[in-house]
Structure 1
Amino acid sequence: MRLTVLGGCGAWPTAEQACSGYLVEYEGFRLLIDPGYATMPRLLRHIQVDAVDAVWVSHGHPDHCADLNPLLRARGLSDVPPPALPVYAPHGALDAVLALDRPGMLAAAYDLHAFRPGDRLAIGPFTAETCLLPHFVPDAGLRLATPDAVLAYTGDTGPSPDIPRLAAGADLFVSEATYVDKVPDADEPYLLTARLAGEYAQQAGVQRLLLTHLWPGTDRAAALRTAAEVFPGAIDIAGPDLMITL
């Protein structure tokens, strides 16, 4: 299994980085996870739009799904459209982004598979287990497994005892870490810090931690140092074109 980071910026993209977006490949199958703002150009640095085999979305905030629209446009409006793209998302999460175009314009470009967080899914060669995690809107954490490796991903979440269970023993744990060591009080139930991500990684016994969804302008070195204070394993920060083989 290989993960390629398309972006890992929280809230909005910057000149250097797109928002959340990850390409996961295994045995020739390409799964696009969370196509947030500005991830489409990054995706095209690696593959063509018709090479995406499925899309999985954790929740409906646009920094995690906005670039599904240009992806579907590029496929559905091409001279020879590829088959409908399987898209997996929590019920209602994609209502807004799928309503950006006139009704029916892109209907043939996708096949929507709505699920409830907690459902277990089969996506190509992957077994996908999901769980509900606390955020401003319903967020589905993801445990993606093959016979060779396990990747766990929080989407956006606040503190939860379900996080170390989701990530237990994972080869790679991709965790939101919007802040370094303190979330503003009003947002504390809905977002994590780099320190909490490190604590959960340690509790889960993961092999490697990837911090993502850092607030624009966050000191990346400080986030790494803070996570490393509580997690002794390998730690990276999601950045454009970073590739990790599990």
Structure 2
Amino acid sequence: MRLTVLGGCGAWPTAVQACSGYLVEHAGFRLLVDPGYATLPRLLAHHTVDAIDAVLISHGHPDHCADLNPLLRARGLGDTPPPSLPVYTPHGAADAVLALDRPSMLAEAFHLHEFQPGDRFDIGPFRTDTWLLPHFVPNAGIRLTTPDAVLAYTGDTGPSPDVLRLAQGADLLLSEATYIHEVPVADAPYLLTARLAGQYASRADVGRLMLTHLWPGTDPRAAHEAAAQAFRQPVDVATPGLVIGVAGA
């Protein structure tokens, strides 16, 4: 399994960082996870739009799904449109993005598969397990399993014992870390810190931790340091172009 980071900025993109977006590849299958703001140009640096085999969205905030629209436009309005793109999303999470165009315009460009967080299903070679994790809107924590690797991704979440269940024994935990040490009180049930991400990674005995969804302007070195105080295995911060091979022991 291989993970390519397209972006890892929370809330809105910056001049150097797209929002959440990750390309996960295994056995020739390319799964795009969370096409947030500004991720399509990053994707095009690696592949053409017709190279994507499926899309998986954790929740309906635009910094995790807004670039589904230009992706579908690029696929559906080209001279030789590829087959319909399977799009997996919690119920209703993609409604606002899909409503940006008249329904008939992109109707042949995608096939929608809606699920409830907590469901298990297959996407190509990936067994996909999901958990409902606490956020401002329904958010699916995602665990992708192949015969030789496990990748766990929190989406956006606050503290929950289900984060440990999601991450247990994973080769890579891709964890939201909006803040470094402390979340503002009003948002504390719905977001994590780099320090908490490190603690979860340690308790879940994961092989590697990658921090993502940092608030714009956050010093990635400070986030890395906060996580590394609790987690003694490798720690990365999601930056565009970073490629990680995800493999079991």
What is the aligned partner in structure 2 of residue 239 from structure 1? 239
Paired with 1:95 and 1:181, the residues of 2 have a C-alpha distance of 34
State the Cα distance separating 1:219 from its structure 2 match.
1.3
1:1-246 counterparts in 2 under 5 A?
1-246=1-246
Identify unmatched segments of 5+ residues in structure 1.
none
Paired with 1:219 and 1:17, the residues of 2 have a C-alpha distance of 13
Paired with 1:222 and 1:47, the residues of 2 have a C-alpha distance of 32
Paired with 2:103 and 2:176, the residues of 1 have a C-alpha distance of 34
1:212-231 deviations in Å (ceiling 9; x for gaps):
00000011111111111111
Paired with 1:156 and 1:202, the residues of 2 have a C-alpha distance of 19
State the Cα distance separating 1:29 from its structure 2 match.
0.2
Paired with 1:241 and 1:103, the residues of 2 have a C-alpha distance of 34
1:54-86 deviations in Å (ceiling 9; x for gaps):
000000000000000000000000111100000
Runs of 4+ in 1 over 3 A off after TM superposition: none
- Secondary structure of the residue aligned to 2:222 is helix
How high is the TM-score relative to the length of structure 1?
A: 1.00
How high is the TM-score relative to the length of structure 2?
A: 0.98
Cα RMSD over matched residues?
0.4
State the Cα distance separating 1:161 from its structure 2 match.
0.3
Paired with 2:64 and 2:104, the residues of 1 have a C-alpha distance of 23
State the Cα distance separating 1:103 from its structure 2 match.
2.2
Paired with 1:143 and 1:115, the residues of 2 have a C-alpha distance of 14
Paired with 1:98 and 1:183, the residues of 2 have a C-alpha distance of 32
Paired with 1:27 and 1:143, the residues of 2 have a C-alpha distance of 17
Paired with 1:174 and 1:26, the residues of 2 have a C-alpha distance of 17
1:109-150 deviations in Å (ceiling 9; x for gaps):
000000000000100000000000000000000000000100
How many residues matched? 246
Paired with 1:48 and 1:214, the residues of 2 have a C-alpha distance of 28
